[in-house]
Structure 1
Amino acid sequence: MPTEWTIKAITRAMLPVLLPLTLVEIGSGLVLGTFESTLIRHPSLLVLVPVTIGTAGNLGSILAARLSTAFHLGLLSFGRADETLLGNALATIGLALTVFPVVGVGAWVLAWLTVGTDLSVLTVLLVSVTSGATLAVVAVVITFIATYAAYRFELDPDDVVIPVVTNASDVLGVIILFLAVRTFV
């Protein structure tokens, strides 16, 4: 894959990706708006929104960077038995399963210390872990698809995959968190 390292080439690769993602982000804000009264009523859930979305985006970005590096080194085959894909996917999900319990308890403690909370720590923990684990799986799938698409369209995955993953994590993070709240609260 010949890569042109100019502002014009990078902009040409990223602009068609970023413009639709900007519109998708507006949808995320609209979904969050419908969820506003629940968030105001339960401050610990309000604390979870940016942390959950940000953490999922970070996990997806880490995976995207690792896959991009493997891609540039010629270690990525996109086959079913590709150990690089499987190992990195499992590591990402394992990391999510260790981080999101801390996020949930931290959100509950922060809300309890500042404004009080009417939800139990177990409820916030369930919402955090469920939404975090689900988002990690979704981030892995989106990262695989975006990396493969970059490969197929001969784009540099460093230019396009991380914006796709972080934007998708923002949008789907709000929806998945909303569904977890509906399930457990």
Structure 2
Amino acid sequence: MHPTLKRILKESIPLLSICLILGTVGGQLLNARLEHLSLLPVFLVFVPVINGVGGNLGCVLGARVSSGLHLGTIQPKLKGKELKQNILVYFLLGIITYTTISIFIWIGIPLLGIRTDLSFMKFSGVLLFAGGLLVCLVVLLVLSTAFVSFKKGLDPDNTVLPLVTSVTDLAGISCLILAMGVIGL
């Protein structure tokens, strides 16, 4: 077996096992709250969206931080111009993306035959709160995973991306449920 492949498997398999468990927990959480969510079916549309966007944006940030660590343009510290720029762009992308998605979902709800008594402000408030919270959690996850992996001699590309996608599945659902509670739904 090629040494690079062996290293990737050695670094990835234990983490992927953890990711499998996280995915299962996320599914169970969604299942446990399904009755509550089905009272407001408009938010069921948002579950795959918040998870997908959170994971995708998190992977972009993770790949950029990992590449910066490999190239030496980012140090495993919470300092540096390039790291701050990447985090700022990630936050801006998150805000723009979740705002745009909330508008399109709101417009698309009647087309799907879903009726809601919620105002646009309450609806978008839940989605933006959940998305904003997820963005913050993903930044913490990406930076801590990338920095710890890099310091321990592991390739952050093999650890950050699988962990981000699995954790966002669990965290996205949790953030949505929390946001619904905070907004009073």
TM-score by shorter chain over 0.5: yes
Distance in 2 of aligned mates of 1:7 and 1:56: 28
Shift of 1:117: 2.2
Moved over 3 A (4+): none
Q: Partner amino acid for 2:77? A: G
| Alpha-carbon RMSD | 1.5
* CA shift in 2, pair 1:117/1:5, >3 Å: farther
Shift of 1:28: 0.8
SS at match of 1:6: helix
- The residue aligned with 1:105 is 103
Q: Partner amino acid for 2:79? A: A
Choose from 19, 25, 28 the match for 2:26.
28
Shift of 1:131: 0.7
Give the TM-score taking structure 2 as reference length: 0.92
- The residue aligned with 2:43 is 45
SS at match of 1:78: coil
Query: Does structure 2 retain, via aligned residues, the 8 Å contact 1:28–1:171?
Result: yes
Distance in 2 of aligned mates of 1:80 and 1:97: 22
Choose from 59, 62, 71 the match for 2:60.
62
- The residue aligned with 1:153 is 152
Any idea what the Cα deviations from partners look like across 1:134-180, whole Å, max 9, x if unmatched? 11111011000010111122111111110111111111111111100
Q: Partner amino acid for 1:181? A: M
Give the TM-score taking structure 1 as reference length: 0.92
Can you give the 5+ residue segments of structure 1 that lack an aligned partner in the other structure?
A: none
Distance in 2 of aligned mates of 1:132 and 1:34: 21
Higher mean C-alpha deviation, range 103-112 or range 132-141? 103-112
Any idea what the Cα deviations from partners look like across 1:17-55, whole Å, max 9, x if unmatched? 111121121111111012212322222201110001110
